[in-house]
Amino acid sequence: MNFTFLSPAFLWALPLALGPLILHWLSRAKPRPRVFPSLELVRAALKSQIYRSRLQNILLLIARCLLLAALALLFSRPMMHWRRGGASPDQQLSLLFLLDVSYSMDARSAGASALDRARQEALAFIDRAGPGDRLGLVAFSDKVEMTLPPSSDFEKLRGALQNLKTTWRPTRVAPALEVASQMLAGDQQGQKAVVVLSDLARNGWAEILSPPRFPAGTRVLLKEAGPAMSNAGVTGLRLLEGRAEALEGSFTAQAWETSGPRAWRVSLRQNTVAQGSLTLPAGGQTASAVFRAAGKGAGLAAGEVSLAPDVLAADDKFFFLWQRPPVFSVLVVSGAPGLSPVQDESFYLMSALEELSQRGVTARKIFQEDLLKQDLAAWDVVALLNPMPLNQQAAALLSAHVKKGGGLLVTAGDNLEKSAASLAPLLPVRLLSASRSREALRLSDAAQNRDVGRALSEQNGFEWGRVTLNQRQEVEPLPGAWPLLVTGESGRPVLVLRRADAGPTAFLATSVDRDWTNLPAKPAFPVLCREILLWLAGRQGNTGRAALTVDQPFEWTFPDPLLVAVTVERPDGFTEEAPVRAGRLRYDKTQDPGVYAIRARASQEPVAWFAVNVNAENGEGDPARVSEERLGELFPDIEWAWVPAEQPAVEVFNERLRGKDMAPLLAALVLSFLIMEILFSLPWRRRETPSHALAGEAG
Partner 1 sequence: MAGRHRSPHAGQALEFVGHRAYTPSDEYRRIDWKVFAKTDRWVVREQQEDTHLRATLLIDTSRSMDYAGAGRLSKTRYAGILAAALSYLLTHNQEAVGLGLFNDKLEEFFPPRGGAAHLARLLEVLEEAPTGGGTNAPAVLEAAGQRLPRRGLVMLVSDFWAPLDSLLAGLRTLLARRHEVAALQVLDPDERDFSLSGDFRWEDLETGAVLRADAEEIRETYRRLMRERQEKLRRGLASLGVDFYEFDTALPLEKSLSLFLERRMNRG
Range 407-424 burial, b when 16+ CB lie within 10 A, else e:
bbbbbbbebbeebbebbe
Residue 56 CB, nearest approach to partner 1 (Å): 8
By CB under 8 A, residue 49 contacts partner 1: yes
320, containing H or E segment: strand 317-324
Q: In the complex, what is the shortest distance from the CB of residue 27 to partner 1, in angstroms, rounded to a whole number?
A: 7
Q: Rounded distance, CA 594 to CA 589, Å?
A: 12
Nearer to partner 1, 373 or 692 (CB): 692
- In 3D space, the residue among 559, 538, 551 whose CA is nearest the CA of residue 610 turns out to be 551
CA distance 291 to 237: 11
Q: How far apart are CA 602 and CA 579, in angstroms?
A: 15
Please report how close the Cβ of residue 681 comes to partner 1 at its closest, in angstroms.
10
Q: How far is the CB of 51 from partner 1 (least distance, A)?
A: 11
- Choice between 39 and 679, CB closer to partner 1: 39
Q: Whole-angstrom Cα distance, residue 689 to residue 699?
A: 19
CA distance 59 to 10: 25
The residue among 562 and 698 lying less far from partner 1, judged by its C-beta, is: 698
Among 57, 210, 279, 435, binds partner 1 (CB under 8 A): 57
The reply on whether position 188 binds partner 1 by CB under 8 A is no
- Assess 42 for contact with partner 1 (CB under 8 A): yes
Q: Cα dihedral angle (61, 66, 68, 74), rounded to 10 degrees? A: -170
Query: How far apart are the C-alpha atoms of 672 and 664, rounded to whole Å?
Result: 12
Which residue's CB is nearer to partner 1, number 56 or number 147?
A: 56
Query: Of 25 and 82, which CB lies nearer to partner 1 in the complex structure?
Result: 25
- When the beta carbons of 44 and 185 are compared against partner 1, the nearer one is 44
Among 53, 422, 542, 654, binds partner 1 (CB under 8 A): 53
Question: What distances in angstroms separate CA 373 from CA 236, 370, 376, 398, 415, one per listed residue?
Answer: 52, 5, 9, 12, 22
Q: Give min distance, CB of 657 to partner 1, in A.
A: 52
For position 43 contacting partner 1 by CB under 8 A, the verdict is: yes
Stretch that binds partner 1, among 30-38, 393-401, 572-580, 662-670 (CB under 8 A): 30-38
Which one among 9, 36, 111, 574 touches partner 1, defined by CB under 8 A?
36
d(CA 593, CA 699): 105
Contact between 321 and 301 under an 8 Å Cβ cutoff? The reply is: yes
User: Where are any strands of DSSP class E within 214-313?
Assistant: 219-224, 231-239, 246-256, 260-268, 271-280, 286-294, 299-307
Give the span between the Cα atoms of 190 and 192, in whole angstroms.
Answer: 6
Q: Does 32 bind partner 1 (CB under 8 A)?
A: yes
Q: How far is CA 467 from CA 348, 355, 493, in A?
A: 15, 21, 14
- Cβ 677 to partner 1 shortest distance, Å: 16
Rg (CA), the chain: 44
Q: Are strands 481-487 and 429-443 parallel, antiparallel or unpaired?
A: antiparallel
Q: What is the smallest separation between the CB atom of 20 and partner 1, expressed in angstroms?
A: 15
Interacting residue with partner 1 among 9, 26, 38, 297 (CB under 8 A): 38
CB of 666 to partner 1, least distance (A): 31
Q: Whole-number minimum distance, CB 680 to partner 1, in Å? A: 12
Burial, 657: exposed, middle or buried (Cβ in 10 Å; 0-12, 13-18, 19+)? buried
Q: Which among 253-261, 365-373, 556-564, 689-697 is the span making contact with partner 1, rule CB under 8 A? A: 689-697
Q: What is the DSSP pairing of strand 361-367 with strand 328-334? A: parallel
> What is the smallest separation between the CB atom of 35 and partner 1, expressed in angstroms?
5
Identify which range of 68-76, 295-303, 360-368, 684-692 contacts partner 1 by CB under 8 A: 684-692
Number of amino acids touching partner 1 (CB under 8 A): 38
Q: How far apart are the first and last CA of the chain?
A: 72
Verify binding: residue 155, partner 1, rule CB under 8 A. Answer: no
Judged by CB under 8 A, the stretch of 27-35, 74-82, 202-210, 438-446 that binds partner 1 is 27-35
User: Which of 63, 139 has the CB closer to partner 1?
Assistant: 63
Instruction: Choose one: 46-54, 397-405, 516-524, 657-665; the region binding partner 1 (CB under 8 A).
Output: 46-54
Q: β-pairing, 108-109 with 584-587? A: unpaired
Q: Are 278 and 287 in contact (CB under 8 A)?
A: yes
Binds partner 1 (CB under 8 A): choice among 111, 573, 636, 699:
699
CB nearer to partner 1: give 31 or 131.
Answer: 31
Q: Which is nearer to partner 1, 29 or 339 (CB)?
A: 29
In whole angstroms, how close is the CB of 50 to partner 1 at the nearest point? 8
Q: Does the footprint of partner 1 cover residue 26 (CB under 8 A)?
A: no
Residue from 9, 26, 40, 270 touching partner 1 (CB under 8 A): that is 40
Query: Strand 286-294 to strand 112-113: parallel, antiparallel, or no bridges (unpaired)?
Result: unpaired
CB 17, min distance to partner 1, A = 23
Cross-strand bridge partners of residue 587: 554
The answer to the question of residue 51 lying near partner 1 (CB under 8 A) is: no
84 contributes a contact to partner 1 by CB under 8 A: no
Smallest gap, in angstroms, from Cβ of residue 33 to partner 1? 5
Please choose, out of 390-398, 444-452, 611-619, 688-696, the segment that lies near partner 1 by the rule CB under 8 A.
688-696
Rule CB under 8 A: choose which of 2, 48, 275, 603 binds partner 1: 48
Q: How far apart are CA 643 and CA 451, in angstroms?
A: 56
CA atoms within 13 A on the CB side of 63: 17
Near partner 1 by CB under 8 A: residue from 9, 26, 27, 636: 27
For residue 155, the one-letter residue type is: E
Q: Does 35 bind partner 1 (CB under 8 A)?
A: yes
Which residues are at the interface with partner 1 (CB under 8 A)?
27-28, 31-46, 48-50, 53, 57, 683-688, 690-695, 697-699
